[in-house]
Amino acid sequence: MTPTETRPFVDFDQVWLAYNEELLAKENFAVEDINLKVQQGEFIAIVGPSGCGKSTFMKLATGLKMPSRGRITIDGQPVTGPLKISGMAFQAPSLLPWRTTLDNVLLPLEIVEPYRQQFKDRRKEFEERARKLLESVGLGGMEKKFPWELSGGMQQRASICRALIHEPKMLLLDEPFGALDAFTREELWCTLRDLWEAQRFNVILVTHDLRESVFLADTVYCMSKSPGRFVVRREIPIPRTRDLEVTYTNEFTDIVHELRGHIGALRAPPRAGLTAVTPPGGQHQRPGEAGSTVFPQ
Ligand SMILES: Nc1ncnc2c1ncn2[C@@H]1O[C@H](COP(=O)(O)OP(=O)(O)OP(=O)(O)O)[C@@H](O)[C@H]1O
Ligand SMILES: [Mg+2]
């Protein structure tokens, strides 16, 4: 293998972030000592209790925030400002109500260089790209509709298309399906799975839903609360392509239970339990047993 093949796509090297100078002076960090290496095309999920620093991690990964300490390298480049190679989607789809679905999806191409300069000349081609993307997530024929004419699930599909229209190398999703009902959410898992399998961009997915993380990700990271740091890394060995049927298998539910054990331990005061967690059912692996890496505290 050449060095390029082994080089991680995302590399967080001892990254700490305090939100301002005052907090830094008090050593009050929102996230601390984040070490993370993500391979090209890998799909990772981050789970952890509310307020632990998941969104802060996302701001660091997109270059919206600079670390107080440590280094972040993405696609071989040190991160020094907002990244163009990423697309983002959040819990609220945040589509512009005065734009049609198609025009919402086209928005990043009107804003982000080099597309911005080319937008007028290449408009037809860009529209075709947007149509294809909408078609691939089941929104063919909805191009002319306004966001308020779409269901919540449809809006979220459109917002994922908007995040992917400039063909980013990295897709960042912060609780993208949190506001949806269980059936729609599972449908969108499959939509995301299919897009990822076709294009193999890197995905960082933040979610509270452990089933979602196990269904979609190659690797799941658990974050501890305040200050946030990664405390568990769990590879998901379930073969792809994964169908929803897999969520009813013992292998799947065992991993979900194991992760729930980790999260339960993280919520128990004070930093207790990492060595003595019995997940629901009692029979499952404990943190640190086969399959998980428990990072030093
Ligand atoms: N702009 C900010 N200024 C100061 N502190 C902040 C700021 N944004 C977040 N924080 C703090 O950083 C910590 C992590 O917040 P963050 O939003 O990353 O949590 P989270 O894991 O995304 O939570 P949730 O699951 O509820 O979305 C919290 O203690 C929060 O109060
Ligand atoms: Mg958040």
pLDDT at 288: 44
Three-state SS annotation for the chain: CCHHHHCCCEEEEEEEECCCHHHHHCCCCCEEEEEEEECCCCEEEEECCCCCCHHHHHHHHCCCCCCCEEEEEECCEECCCCCCCEEEEECCCCCCCCCCHHHHHHHHHHHCCCHHHHHHHHHHHHHHHHHHHHHHCCCCCCCCCCHHHCCHHHHHHHHHHHHHCCCCCEEEEECCCCCCCHHHHHHHHHHHHHHHHHHCCEEEEECCCHHHHHHHCCEEEEECCCCECEEEEEECCCCCCCCHHHHHCHHHHHHHHHHHHHHHHHHCCCCCCCCCCCCCCCCCCCCCCCCEEECCC
**Pocket-testing residue among 52, 58, 225, ligand 1, by greatest number of atoms within 8 A of Cβ:** 52
Ligand 1 closest atom vs CA 226 = 29
**Local confidence band at 268 (pLDDT 50, 70, 90 cut-offs):** low
Tell the residue nearest (CA) to atom 26 of ligand 1. 50
Per-residue model confidence (pLDDT) at position 277:
36
Rounded to the nearest angstrom, the distance between the alpha carbon of 270 and the centre of ligand 1 is: 20
Proximal ligand: closest to the CA of 34: 1
CA–centroid distance, 19 to ligand 1, in Å, is 9
Residue ID of nearest Cα to ligand 1 atom 1: 19
pLDDT at position 289 is: 46
**pLDDT reported for residue 85:** 83
Residues forming a β-bridge with 88: 172
CA-nearest residue for atom 2, ligand 1, is: 19
Ligand 1 binding pocket includes 17 (Cβ within 6 Å): no
Assess whether the C-beta atom of 19 lies below 6 angstroms from ligand 1: yes
Contact 230, 48 (CB under 8 A): no
Distance 58 CA to ligand 1 centre (A): 11
Amino acid 273: pLDDT: 37
Give 72's contacts (C-beta < 8 A, 6+ positions apart). Answer: 10, 11, 12, 13, 15, 60, 61, 63, 78, 79
pLDDT at 151: 93
Is the pLDDT higher at 126 or at 269? 126
- Distance CA(75)–CA(79), nearest Å, equals 9
pLDDT exceeds 60 at position 278: no
Between 3-7, 78-82, 182-186, the lowest mean confidence (pLDDT) is in 3-7
Check if 30 has its Cβ closer than 6 Å to any atom of ligand 1. yes
CB of residue 91 inside a 6 A radius of ligand 1: no
52: CA distance to ligand 2 center in Å?
Answer: 8
Residue 118's pLDDT band (cuts 50, 70, 90) = very high
What's the mean pLDDT when you consider all of the chain?
Answer: 88
pTM: 0.87
Q: For residue range 132-143, what is the model confidence (pLDDT) as tens digits?
A: 999 988 999 999
Mean pLDDT over 115-138 rounds to 93
Say how many CA atoms lie within 13 Å of 32 toward its Cβ.
11
For residue 148, the CA-to-ligand 1 centroid distance in Å is 30
- Weakest mean pLDDT among 120-129, 166-175, 255-264, 288-297: 288-297
Q: Which string of b and e fits 32-56 if b means at least 16 CB within 10 Å?
A: bbbebebeeebbbbbbbbeebbbbb
Residue 292's DSSP bridge partners are 234
CA 15 – ligand 1 centroid, Å: 16
Which ligand lies nearest to the CA atom of residue 19 in the structure?
1
Return d(Cα 59, Cα 50) in angstroms, integer. Answer: 16
Query: What's at 256, amino acid-wise?
Result: V
